[in-house]
Amino acid sequence: MSTLQSEIARRRTFAIISHPDAGKTTLTEKLLWFGGAIQMAGAVRARKASRHATSDWMELEKQRGISVTSSVMQFPYKDCIVNLLDTPGHEDFSEDTYRTLTAVDAAVMVIDSVNGVEAQTIKLLNVCRLRATPILTFINKLDREGRSPIELLDEIEDVLDMQCAPMTWPIGMGKRFRGVYHLLDDKVTLFDPHGDKDDQDAGQIIAGLDNPELDRILGEQAEELRIEIELVRGASHTFDKQAFLAGKQCPVYFGSAVNNFGVRSLLDALATLSPPPQPRPAASREVQPAEPKFSGFVFKIQANMDPKHRDRIAFLRVCSGRFDRGMKMFQVSTGKTIAVNNAITFMAQDRSIMEEAFAGDIIGIPNHGTIRLGDAFTEGEALKFTGIPSFAPEHFRRARLNNPLKTKQLQKGLQQLAEEGATQMFRPITSNELVLGAVGTLQFDVVAHRLEHEYGVDAIFESFSCATARWLRGSEKAIAELIDKAGHNVAIDGAGEHVYLAPSLVNLRLTQERFPDVTFLETREIL
Ligand code: GDP
């Protein structure tokens, strides 16, 4: 194997999806601990402390305050280089999460054993399903009195329509939680509530379900376990790698993140079961990771910490080849070639300059607003990566200025913030208004805050009567006809596309019936 191929083969790029409070932060911290990035753990904990902020405003500050380094965390584990992509916890920033999920090759789904499958889990899993992303499931908080494991697996199968293949099985729960049995390895790892909090998985291991040692240690729970395992083996799916890679079946691990129990098994599964960097679809062809030429796309843009400089970091997922410091990259959307000397790696606690990266890795490119969400970079080929979603906003505001002389700044600010994905922007074709759209209302607060601090624009956001938006697709004639008859509800979005701003859902339905030759899209791919 060439260096390129072997470097790519050892990459694992994933994100954690969960409903708030299921334990994502705790699990992240433990994973980083295993990866030897222990100094990062402090950073995660600090974020957790601020997470319990009460007001939305503080939440907003927190979202903005997440340091760039914690958006992507890279660490070595065994022979692998693991890239863990963080996603914002707050539901209002879910668009950002959706886009991050386009840059991973696998996802870990954390389920709280007390609460089971929750609303945000369902939403995020549906996003993973769009790309058939392989999912590993971690059922957390076994140290608490939760639901029965069988019931939890049933719920995942029913509600999420995902086959479950238990890889470990819990021995009791809450006060009776004694550890897990590994179904494939036929061994038990014991849980010690007072044991080494750093690595419970390294604790006592007993080989074989029939081992009398188990009876000695677990007492009556040993026999209960044997009966349960027989049942589980008969009734549940056995792990099928093809089904897992196709996103149809998830291996399930039980544990307790806060006690660092079961985390190593999960990490081992990530290293051994989850796929290396996968091909990425582009408009013209599928891009293979081991192609010698570099390519990648921008899935996230984050404003930098210093608002005065309006710096941004564009997060690029390398899709093929390798990146070397200083290499010239062709920006497909502008046709320009840029030399990237200051790309950021996320390996260490602090930022450091990236020397090289391979397919699967994420690099951060500092820029001043020249890079947009969805931008592709290559060594010259005009690739357009597909599948980066933009979702129909559900909240709308009209932007009005206190000082009309600042119109230009307002337009520029909104345009740039829209390009970053902080909000969506619409210009109705029959008026001079600027309308903002968001999936979550907190996004408006971010935009107002940033307009003021980064662009010096004091804007007021007024209510705007619109139920939802749909991107319009159809022949020129069909679109022109719709504009002719219902142009007062049509706008142009930040990317220059026609959008229907429906005052009500009834109006939307009637308009759809009236113009059958036009397609009304709820999700648009950024191209
Ligand atoms: P996130 O919102 O998904 O990031 O969740 P956190 O990691 O912040 O965890 C939410 C709460 O659950 C915190 O109070 C954690 O200490 C707690 N927690 C996490 N893992 C466990 C666990 O295994 N057992 C118990 N009892 N609590 C846990």
Q: What pLDDT shows up at residue 234?
A: 92
Pick from 24, 25, 26 the residue to mutate for probing ligand 1's pocket: most ligand atoms within 8 Å of its CB.
Answer: 26
Q: Which atom of ligand 1 lies nearest, measured to the CA of 19?
A: 3
Q: What pLDDT shows up at residue 58?
A: 47
Q: What pLDDT shows up at residue 373?
A: 87
Q: Is residue 87 in contact with ligand 1, taking CB distance under 6 Å?
A: no
Q: Which atom of ligand 1 lies nearest, measured to the CA of 259?
A: 23
Q: Is residue 258 in contact with ligand 1, taking CB distance under 6 Å?
A: yes
Q: What is the pLDDT of residues 383-401, one digit of tens each?
A: 999 877 777 888 999 998 8
DSSP assigned state of 141: -
Could you tell me the distance, in angstroms and rounded to a whole number, from the CA of residue 26 to the centre of ligand 1? 6
Could you tell me the distance, in angstroms and rounded to a whole number, from the CA of residue 257 to the centre of ligand 1? 7
Q: Which residue has the higher pLDDT, 42 or 484?
A: 484
Q: How far apart are CA 456 and CA 445, in angstroms?
A: 15
CB contact burial 288-315 (16+ within 10 A = b; e otherwise): bbbbeebbbbbbbbbbeeeeeebbbbbb
Could you tell me the distance, in angstroms and rounded to a whole number, from the CA of residue 52 to the centre of ligand 1? 12
Residue minimizing CA distance to atom 19 of ligand 1: 23
Q: Is residue 486 in contact with ligand 1, taking CB distance under 6 Å?
A: no
Q: Is residue 200 in contact with ligand 1, taking CB distance under 6 Å?
A: no
Q: Is residue 25 in contact with ligand 1, taking CB distance under 6 Å?
A: yes
Range name among 57-61, 322-326, 366-370 with the lowest pLDDT average: 57-61
Pick from 144, 258, 261, 266 the residue to mutate for probing ligand 1's pocket: most ligand atoms within 8 Å of its CB.
Answer: 258
Question: Which uninterrupted H or E stretch holds 491?
Answer: strand 490-493
Assess contact for 252 and 152: CB atoms under 8 A. Answer: no
Q: Which pTM does this prediction carry?
A: 0.85
Residue minimizing CA distance to atom 26 of ligand 1: 141
Pick from 21, 52, 109 the residue to mutate for probing ligand 1's pocket: most ligand atoms within 8 Å of its CB.
Answer: 21
Q: Output the six-digit token pair for 23.
A: 């334990």
Question: Which uninterrupted H or E stretch holds 319?
Answer: strand 312-320
Q: Output the six-digit token pair for 121.
A: 């889990």
**How large is the average pLDDT for residues 241-254?**
98
Could you tell me the distance, in angstroms and rounded to a whole number, from the CA of residue 206 to the centre of ligand 1? 28
Q: What pLDDT shows up at residue 309?
A: 61
β strands within 321-407, DSSP E: 322-324, 328-331, 336-339, 344-345, 352-353, 356-358, 362-367, 376-378, 389-391, 395-401
For 335, counting Cβ atoms within 10 Å of its Cβ (0-12 exposed, 13-18 middle, 19+ buried), the class is exposed
For the chain, what percent of residues have pLDDT higher than 90?
A: 60
Could you tell me the distance, in angstroms and rounded to a whole number, from the CA of residue 16 to the centre of ligand 1? 14
Torsion angles phi and psi, residue 40, rounded to 5: -70, -25
Q: How far apart are CA 340 and CA 454, in angstroms?
A: 25
Could you tell me the distance, in angstroms and rounded to a whole number, from the CA of residue 139 to the centre of ligand 1? 12
* Residue 270, pLDDT above cutoff 80: yes
Residue minimizing CA distance to atom 22 of ligand 1: 141
Q: What is the pLDDT of residues 39-94, one digit of tens each?
A: 444 455 555 544 443 344 445 545 544 444 467 888 889 999 999 998 876 666 67
Could you tell me the distance, in angstroms and rounded to a whole number, from the CA of residue 31 to the centre of ligand 1? 14
ipTM: 0.99
Pair type for strands 468-473 and 434-438 = unpaired
Could you tell me the distance, in angstroms and rounded to a whole number, from the CA of residue 256 to the centre of ligand 1? 9
